[in-house]
Amino acid sequence: MNQTGQEAERLKRCGLKKTRGRENVMKTLEAAKCPVTAEKIFWELKKQRKEISLSTVYRILGTLVKKEIAKRTGSDENGRAMFELNRHIHRHYLVCLGCHKMIPVEHCPLGELEKRLEQETGFSVTGHSLEIYGYCADCQKQMLTKKKEK
């Protein structure tokens, strides 16, 4: 469902050399389907015996962000930067505060709001970020079972 070389092509279009590191990082982002930290990518690749250094992961992510292939989204619960592919389909997530799972939401309800705000304020909207927090079904069950948090 994902022909090899898709990443290579995207890199070439941006005038970037096709390298082992870049392809692997991009594949990992592709596979992730939601925002991940640099370190997560690093360990994911380590697990797959694809050696790379963490600083290179950061450098690659920096490059991808600059080329708008990826984007840096807020930060995780520990303040680490998160990255995801700049997909054409626009997406938001339900973020579980228990297990930090991120569930994609298909529908984006903001277009109309943005149009109104532009008219009212003269602000020119280029994008937005939206995340919805709460507890996933699994974590809700667990919380009912053991009520010995903190």
Contacts to a copy of itself by CB under 8 A:
74-75, 79, 81, 94, 96-97, 103, 105, 107, 109-110, 113-114, 117, 121-137, 140
Looking from the CA of 59 toward its CB, the CA atoms found within 13 Å total: 9
Strand-strand pairing, 92-96 and 70-75: unpaired
Residue with tokens 């930060």: 75
Site for DNA in 57-76 (CB under 7 A): 58-63, 75
Q: Is residue 37 within the footprint of DNA (CB under 7 A)?
A: yes
Which of 81, 105, 110, 139 touches DNA (CB under 7 A)? 81
CB of 60 to a copy of itself, least distance (A): 18
Q: Which does 64 bind (CB under 5 to 8 A by kind): DNA, a copy of itself, none?
A: none
The C-alpha R_g of the chain, in whole angstroms, comes to: 18
In the complex, least distance from residue 5 CB atom to DNA, rounded to whole angstroms: 11
What does the DSSP 8-state code read for residue 112? H
Please enumerate in sequence order all residues whose Cβ is within 8 A of that of 33, keeping only pairs 6 or more positions apart, or say none.
104
